[in-house]
Chain A
Amino acid sequence: MRGLTPQRIFIAQSKKMGMTHLALTETNGLWGFIRFVQHARDADILPVAGANILTLQDDVIVLAENQTGYENLCRVLSNVHDDETLPFAEILKQNLSGLFILSHQKNTLKQLIRFVPNSHLFVELRPGIAESQAHKLSKAFNLEIVATGDVYFLQPEDWQAHRILRAIEKNTTLSQLDPAYVKNQNRWFRSEKDMVRLFPNSLDALNNSQYLAERCKTDWSFINTIFPDLSLQKTNRADRKLRSLVYRGAQIRYGNITQSINDRIEYELELITQKGFSPYFLVVQDIVCQTKTTIGRGSAAASVVSYCLFITQVDPVRYNLQFERFIHPERVDMPDIDIDFPWDERDDIIAYVFKKYGLHRTAMVSSQVFLQPRSAVREVAKVYGLSNEEIKTVTKRIGWHSRQSNLLTWIKNDNHFKNLNMDSTLEKIIKLSEKIIGTFRTSSVHPGGMVIVPDEIRKYVPVLRATKGVQILEWEKDQTEDSGLLKIDLLGNRSLAVVRDTLEQIGVYRSEYVNYHDIPPVGDPKTEALMKAGRTMGVFYIESPATRQLLAKAGRVDFEHVVIYSSIIRPAANRFTNLMLERIHGKPWKLPHPDLEFLNESYGIMVYEEQVSMAARNLAGFGYAESDYIRKVISRPSLKHLVPAWQKKFISGMLKRGYDKKLTLNIWDMVQSFSGYSFCKPHSASYAMLSFTCAYLKAHFPAEFLAAVISNEGGFYSSYAYLSEARRWGVIILPPNINRSFRKYRGNKNSIRMGFMAIRNLKEKAILHILDARKSGDFTSLADFFMRTDLNLADAMSLTNAGCFTKLELGLTHQQIAFKIACHYLRGGEGENILPSFCNGVLSHHEKIRLEQESFGFPVSEHPLTPWLPLFAGKIKKAKDISRYVGKTIRLAGVLIATKVASTQKRESMEFLTLEDETDIYECVLFPKVFQEFGDILHWETLFIISGTVEESFGVYSVTIEKMASLQQWVRHLNRKSIFWAFAQR
């Protein structure tokens, strides 16, 4: 965290100053090099690759003379990352060729002069170094002087922001910041004139800078894709192997390979071979083979080759997925293949890849974190010593996704900041925050991006070790892709683990194991009925309240429609959802223009990414590359700055081709709804297939499926909500049992046995120990349990409170079991436990519920609303009956299951709630006014009493809340009222 100004601004400024070359010399890295080259090219500036290498002893500038120099620069930087204590000379010795070295330190020059030719070694004259000193060094070592800007910020006024950045990195205050960590005020971006003024006696040095820049490599090209194998012989062998694997897979997938399938396979293989893609496919296929349940997603799902290799699970021929979305003859860049693995197997898969291809060929992609408005304000405020409370008063209102750059003006004028007490310190903080927005903060590991190269990874890009120990590239995914490195995304997916675990549980009581690839989910009536009813809690990708409602409202749940729903559920496309629902329900519609025929499959609405590209090609007259790029520009937040230029191009293209303005703006409106994130059709189809698989499992094996959903955690809802859902499916919930429970929840036909993982405070080690001890047979008594296990008292107490021993010692009360446990562990396992006479208390129902609440976080034996039911009689309606009260205002009680905050077009906050009572689950809306009044309760309460109007839309019911209260407060109020009436009557 040193440099301040974004690359684009530096480049624009250098262009204004008439410069021809610009070198990016980031500290110990090429963190933004690809982006720099792209921006420089756009501005017609020649980009030079370099780095400012800082080790414990040395501070040098290294520039790449040629491709070899670039490769050596990457190696040097990787070595510096490996060990910063090594002297630079030692690191450089092995990787000297093609590098220019500039240093202003006598000791460094003294070491380097021994093996670096003086044509490649220079004395650096940078601001802060006296000219006389540079001349002295030049004479002493007989080296030429090169003047550098050593730029860290654009203008002298930015120095304060630079200090702030340093204080943020060093986690200190401005007054405690060590001056050695801060660059002085001279490190601003100077024009040639300013440089002459700064170094009046070193004009040679200034000229040398130009000469040196001209000697550096500037013609960077990233058009070549770097495949895992490059040699012709290997690629040829790979082509043949791929062909045989594909046909073998096709035999299994299709049985009878028809002519059309054969043609498609041949067409794809030809293109793949042509582009040298075979080794890549084989690498991916090899990785996929490592586990049973995977799903290939992204555009790769459009390939029949991927389908036959079992990389993807959707038949592209049957579902009409266009291969051109994946590989197109005209496509310059290479698409990657994204694979999802069960979340708990992903690390093993990554370890396998590292082991197979070696650290020298493999690395994970990094994630680069930049300061955004909210984090910038928070960090600067911390430097100024503001407390968390003070900081939150501002940052809470800024919001996570805010991308404002004129913070001060925005804060001063926006209604969100109405009552903000803006003093001079806060104003200063916000002004400084504006300056550091967009600054590189740190890099971490990308969730799953991996790169495998044919030879040595360190020659393409510097690598380093992430905090968690894995080797990562310096570049994030976009730069990695743009540099030509082929990325494989190996991502963790919880639903795949759910599918795997469900199948495992079914396998326990069924003679034959159900194969993941053999599940026939599409077209299954039970599955479709489940989806139509919107009972998809736990089902991958379609379990959120919004999607459940959409499924129920639409009433059409064939595969093609579910693919559409998966794509249209995105924030920016909300307004098109209702339009689509109306059309599904028969409202007459026609295409806005006959040229938009490709929208026929999605009711005239743009839902897939490729439809954006098609619109650009068919209507605005873009070429293939351009139409593919506009899709990227719209959907990638990092390319947001290019949107206005492409909008102009798109609109003018359409107008030029004679389309009327209204249609043009209408189409652009649809295109813009893809901003943020969006999917291509193959991707949606892949996900829809997994949704169908999950829905199939839920429809046929609800106990096993929901047990797997809870066990794998991380679903949209809490464990409690899934257990409630299981009850609604008629499944019985059984508490943990020392002989019957496993670590995870286990479903068995019509019951779910809670796993040990449900017990709070029970350590993982204890669970494994119990399961290990149980391998030799069930525990027969407490004495047997004591003998065969070696737990501590805390774990034994957790097991006791969770009721694990109740069935083991049927003759004993809870208190007696607890007494035996306590005495045994406190005695250290010695002596006999004789039950004293006082120890015979039986738990009351209330105590039992309290124990369950403490052990699991929710009651198991009864619904949380049960204790209140007598109070509800006659006053509160049941959720299962709401359809009878459409248009009427009713009162309901409910447990909060899920919430979603949204905002209206006027940027007013509102909230969607999912509640349940003991009869059913129901959806509610808190519109802005009501949200403002009652929204706060949602922060601290989970049991509610609501009053609202029942609404109906496309046959789906929801409640528009008018009033709501905490159930406990309502009951207290009720009691007060009854006491008052009792008193009055007396």
Chain B
Amino acid sequence: MANTAPRSVFHIRMEDFELQAERILDASLRTRPIAIISSHHQNGTIISLSSEAREEGLCRGMTVSLARRMNHSALLLPYNHSLYARLNNYLYTTVSTFTPVVEPAGLGKFYTDMTGVNHLYKSPEQAGSVIAQSIQDKSSLSCTIGISSNKLVSHISTTVMPEKIHQISHGEEEGFLSPLNSFVLPTTSKPSVKKIIRFLYLNQVFHIQQVIDHVETSKVLFGINHRKLVQESRGQDTSVVCPPKQQGHLLKQAVLSIDTNDELLLRATVKHLAEQIAYQLRQRRQIARKVTVEIYYTDGFRNARSGKFQTNDDYSVYQVCLNLFEQCNRRRNRIRSILIDTTHFIPFNLQMDIFITSNTKNQILSCALDHIRTKHGFFSIQPAIAITQQLQKYKSPL
């Protein structure tokens, strides 16, 4: 028999997550106007900002160049992804202690399905306050929690409600949404829908609810998005909270100690990274069906290209990586870092060739090198290109 009882879905959202993270790290920032920016490039934008910075005229989405010109006292901090990711992982662990069904929804945001564990608490609000308190105690971060029977309404609740914990009872979703701005509904962010909503001055969800009551008209206006809007404006969402699936990654990154656009040094770096990847793939007797080469330039730009490996000998892996690198590196700017990321692994069983081909030769050579490397360490033997004097200049963090 199907369980028809309403679910209890929480949306936990850290307010200005990046900002809070920075302020935890550096207490001196707690009273200063600060803004987190996507990059120092002039086209970078403000991602998160403190109320002090907001008072000085800065706002989210403002370009870095404008922010710099407008405001001299606000501190513009670059986006520190690794810090936020680490803190996010910690929060994930914290939230997971309350329920096994936790779905990360971006940095500092989680959905939890508390349906099965609600009986442990007096009420969903009490469960929420326990979670919020736990997060506060363990990480000093403050959060807002939206509670409803589905992800959509819980999410909207944390976006618009000023209370720390707000619950929307089952059946009250439509009424809750009615007075809100139309653009809280996810489908309204689609350009075709957004355009019509703005054009017709459908400012509140209530107006959308009125339009969708005229089914024919609504279908004309919103086309294929009509159905979604019907569900969203009535606060219906059938998606379930899914814990993340683990995806295997094998990645190597080189951060150059001196930013450069010297082709020789860059190729040497790619060669070095490719060989490390190939060595590990051979150890695992696998090949990767997806390989991504990412280049990080000094000015904050990032370029990436993806491909796949057919085999796992040093030469072939290097050729694929080099090819991707060359496709990727279309700018003259200096490069700060190169990253090779491999995923989608499948077993690789080398079929014996009847005739000796160059592929077989490369495979044999790689195997011979592996022997030496296993015995004496990876760096005991390397091709000349990878140990050029310039190559000594970079450090490998991984």
Contact = CB atoms under 8 A, between A and B. Distances in A.
Interface string A912-941: 000000000000000000000000110110
Contacts of A822: 196, 199-200, 221
B333 A385 contact: yes
B263 A176 contact: yes
A814 B201 CA distance: 9
B199 A800 contact: yes
Interface stretch (A1-9, A738-746, A965-973): A965-973
Interface string A817-845: 01101110011000100001011010100
Given A826-B223, A838-B207, A940 B66 contact: yes
Contacts of A826: 196, 220-221, 223
B334 A386 contact: yes
Contact of B211 (A389, A821, A836, A936): A836
B283 interface: no
A133 B57 CA distance: 74
Contacts of B172: none
Centre residue among B40, B66, B262 by max chain A CB count within 10 A: B262
B261 A836 contact: no
A383 to B, nearest CB: 7
Contacts of B207: 838
Nearest to A176: B263
Nearest to A801: B199
A389 B217 contact: no
A385 B69 contact: no
Interface string B198-217: 01110000010011001001
A82 to B, nearest CB: 32
A783 B166 CA distance: 49
Interface in B60-105: 66, 69-70, 72
A823 B201 CA distance: 14
A827 B214 CA distance: 15
B57 to A, nearest CB: 6
Given A838-B210, A936-B70, A968-B57, A385 B259 contact: yes
Contact of B221 (A815, A823, A847): A823
Given A388-B42, A818-B199, A823 B66 contact: no
Interface residues of B, number: 36
A494 interface: no
Given A847-B201, A966-B57, A823 B332 contact: no
A676 to B, nearest CB: 30
A107 interface: no
Nearest to B195: A797
A231 interface: no
B214 to A, nearest CB: 5
Judged by DSSP, the binding face of B is mixed
A758 B19 CA distance: 42
A389 B42 contact: yes
Nearest to A941: B70
B279 interface: no
A173 B332 contact: yes
Residue from the set A815, A843, A966 with the largest chain B CB neighbour count within 10 Å: A815
Contacts of A175: 261-264
Contacts of B335: 385
A904 interface: no
A692 to B, nearest CB: 42
Nearest to A935: B69
Contacts of A937: 70
A233 interface: no
- Of the listed residues A175, A388, A841, A843, the one surrounded by the most CB atoms of chain B closer than 10 A to its CB is A175
Contacts of A797: 195, 199
Nearest to B334: A385
B66 A836 contact: no
Contacts of A21: none
Nearest to B71: A936
A788 B193 CA distance: 27
Contact of B201 (A843, A936, A968): A843
Given A818-B201, A826-B221, A976-B55, 11 more contacts: A173-B263, A175-B264, A176-B263, A383-B332, A385-B259, A385-B334, A385-B335, A387-B298, A836-B211, A937-B70, A972-B55
Closest 5 CB pairs of A and B: A387-B299, A385-B261, A385-B334, A175-B263, A838-B210
20 contacts: A173-B262, A175-B261, A175-B262, A385-B261, A385-B333, A386-B298, A387-B41, A387-B299, A389-B40, A389-B41, A818-B200, A818-B201, A823-B221, A826-B196, A826-B220, A847-B201, A936-B72, A937-B70, A940-B70, A972-B57
